[in-house]
Amino acid sequence: MKYVSTRGQVDSVEFTDAVLMGLADDGGLIVPERIPDLSGRLDELRELSYSDLALEIVSAYATDISREDLAALIGKSYGEVFDPAVAPVVRVGDAFILELWHGPTMSFKDVALQLLGNLFEHILSSRGGALNILGATSGDTGSAAICGVRGRKGINIFIMHPQGRISPIQQRQMTTVLDANVHNIAIEGSFDDCQQIMKSLAGDLDFKRAYSLGAVNSVNWARVLAQMVYYFHAAFRVRELTGAEKVRVCVPTGNFGNILAGWYAMRMGAPIERLILATNSNDILSRFFNTGRYSLGEVCQTLAPAMDIQVASNFERYLYYKVGCDPDRLRELMAGFAETGGLEVEVAPGQAVDDAFEAGAADTDELLEAIRACYQEHGYLLDPHTACGLSVAHSLVPAHVGSGRGQSDEGSPLVCIATAHPAKFPEAIKQATGSDLAHHPTIDELMGLPTLCETLPKDQEAVRRFIIETMSQ
């Protein structure tokens, strides 16, 4: 399997090269030259454990790593630090919740970043050299990335987060890690500012090569690849419970990476009828899928901070396919977006932007009501991001009350992806329920630990200097 850039100005590369490159050297995103079709193997795949399923899916893309080595990397990623079920599916009322928070930092990001950390180490051990990871986080990516590479030989990690715009617990999950190879940076700006600094520095090829910069954000193809697995897994588990041949999956998303993995899974043959895209009040993505217009707005702070994003970095990958894999057209659209803050795709009258998607947004009152109602009716706590998803899903696909099968009036069971443990957002839970319910021993222990973090302005040169000075020491 070879990989190309969405912007078409770099030579094709192997999987391991794509992993180390992160952001493509022409400023685009890495995509596979083709999408494998697994639709004829569903009966075989649905019988597999999570790790064995991951091996089948990842090996279709990572063709320059031996199957034996991939099996060992995947076993290490999911067999040592996860709950044995990895990603349980639980029934909550008339929906199913895919719990992706059973990893070490209690976020769905662990599913991909544990594997990515092991991939980095495997590749560097065979090639030699070092890797300096530069990442931006709106909350959970940072702690999961740090957990995935802390203490690893030959790897340093620099993680930027928007100062004061992530939950206090998310911040402490990162800044209480004091390993010598971990460097936290609080940027005086928004997540979009952090992400722009990351992309700008990665786009400076002389700097990127001189300091061996790599990426852990979902611009790294391996992140998206690892996330495809749980879409197959969820559909298979719901079939066991209901007999349904297909599911609808609702995905709370800000950077479009999680739901893009679901879109790839659909293209590979995963039994998914439709993807429901859910945003909070930062609704650039839901507006696009309802209008065909992708246009910037002001970033507003919400109780679902990981979705407080306007520029969704993975949207370029989707747009590449939307324009027929034409890199010239893609570059034209992205240049226009950089200049005007907007772009538009043609949509025929009366047609959807994409039949694979439904989309909606939930404001603060709606996400709080979703948390409150779910707890009162089912005794189940949602984190605010998952609550956005369930709120949007119920507004678009009203459940058939009393069916007992998690099945909507339109026939397909509804699966909502749960992105984080509610204990990471205690203030939102308390505001919704009136009670201090959201706790976890691992998180509670963080509050008394020492922290280390550098505060910098939203200036790429300040971040560049920090990296240079840190590495010189």
* Cα(100)–Cα(321) distance, integer angstroms: 28
Q: Does 109 qualify as catalytic in the annotation?
A: yes
And the tokens for 83?
Answer: 């709950």
Work out the burial of residue 328: count CB atoms within 10 Å of its CB; fewer than 13 is exposed, 13-18 middle, 19 or more buried: exposed
CB 268 within 8 A of CB 39: yes
**DSSP assignment of 196-211, as one string?**
HHHHHHHH-HHHHHHT
Strands 342-344 and 293-295: antiparallel
Any idea what the Cα angle at residue 281 is, between residues 278 and 287, rounded to 5°?
A: 60
Can you say how many angstroms the Cα of residue 24 is from the centroid of all Cα atoms in its chain? 18
Work out the burial of residue 348: count CB atoms within 10 Å of its CB; fewer than 13 is exposed, 13-18 middle, 19 or more buried: exposed
And the tokens for 8?
Answer: 């078409």
Catalytic pick among 2, 76, 109, 458: 109
Reference 115, options 66, 83, 161, 80; nearest CA is 80
Reference 176, options 455, 454, 453, 451; nearest CA is 451
For CA atoms 37, 41, 46, 47, the dihedral sign is: negative
Q: How many helices (H) and strands (E) does the chain have?
A: 19, 15
Neighbouring-strand partners of residue 13: 3
CB 260 within 8 A of CB 313: no
Burial call 58-96: b when 16+ CB within 10 Å, e when fewer: bbbbbeebeeeebbebbebbbeeebeeebbbbebbbbbb
- Residues serving a catalytic function are 109
